[in-house]
Amino acid sequence: MPEQLIRYARDCAEQHLEQACPDAWLRSQTAARHAEGAATALGRPRVEIITAAAWLHAIGESPDLTRSGLAPLDGALHLLTSGWPEPVVSLVAHQMQSRLIAGAFASYESLGLIERIQGWPSDIMDYAVVMSLAPAGLADPEMGLRRASESLPTTLRITARDRAERDRRIRRAVDRVSAALISAGATTPL
């Protein structure tokens, strides 16, 4: 069953992203690899949930799924109506501290209806997404963090405080996972 969930997630991401958003499709592949590697190396339960969410993290960028403009929410709403498990929906919806920017998309209330998973699953998800933002072939969390920070258009009405808090929380998650991977014997980021 776990392998089937991951295969379905991969197929769903491919269906929505490969042609419409090839960059997002590549990021999904990279995020899934990092999520599965980190969750496995750290001995986390339900690796398949974290890996499936990483495969699906960018589907809200697909033009056929865009509703609110907040990609994590748009992807999560599609998954919710398609019958995906709640933990997968939650990890997609709340990735990269999306609640801190949801107000700029008039989506705070909608996002708040999806329960938020915290702790290691959320940290690993953010780590995987950040790693997917680093240039292809480079497992460089610093470059991924910089790109995550720069990815929000300055035209959005997001306060400087919320931007800084989002960056700080994402960095903390990435640092926690990176440190745990080193402690677990992983010599380089996965």
Mean pLDDT by 10 residues, the chain (190 residues): 92 98 96 96 95 98 94 97 97 96 90 94 97 80 84 79 92 95 76
Whole-prediction pTM: 0.94
pLDDT at position 56 is 98
Q: How many CA atoms lie within 13 A of 65 on its CB side?
A: 27
pLDDT at position 143 is 87
Domain annotation covers residue 144:
yes
Domain annotation covers residue 20:
yes
pLDDT at position 152 is 74
Domain annotation covers residue 189:
no
| CA–CA distance, 158 with 63 (Å, rounded to integer) | 23
| CA–CA distance, 190 with 173 (Å, rounded to integer) | 15
pLDDT at position 189 is 55
Give the residue numbers spanning the domain of 119: 2-183
pLDDT at position 96 is 95
**Total count of domains within the chain:** 1
